[in-house]
Amino acid sequence: MATLVKTLSLTSTDTSSDALSLSVSDSVTVTSPSIDLARTSIATGSAQDLIASNSAFTYVYIKVVSGANATDFLQVKIAGNVVFKVRVGEFAFFPLYNALAITAESYGGATTVEYGFWSI
**Euclidean distance between CA atoms 22 and 42, whole angstroms:** 33
Say whether pLDDT at 22 is over 90.
yes
Q: Would you say 66 and 88 are in contact if contact means Cβ atoms under 8 Å apart?
A: yes
Q: Where are the beta strands (DSSP E) in the chain?
A: 2-12, 20-42, 48-51, 58-67, 73-78, 81-87, 91-96, 102-107, 111-119
Max CA pair span of the chain:
46
Q: Is there a cis peptide before residue 33, judged by omega within 30 degrees of 0?
A: yes
**Euclidean distance between CA atoms 38 and 63, whole angstroms:** 10
Say whether pLDDT at 55 is over 90.
no
Say whether pLDDT at 108 is over 90.
yes
Q: What confidence tier does 32 reach under pLDDT thresholds 50, 70, 90?
A: confident
Average pLDDT rounded to a whole number, residues 39-58: 89
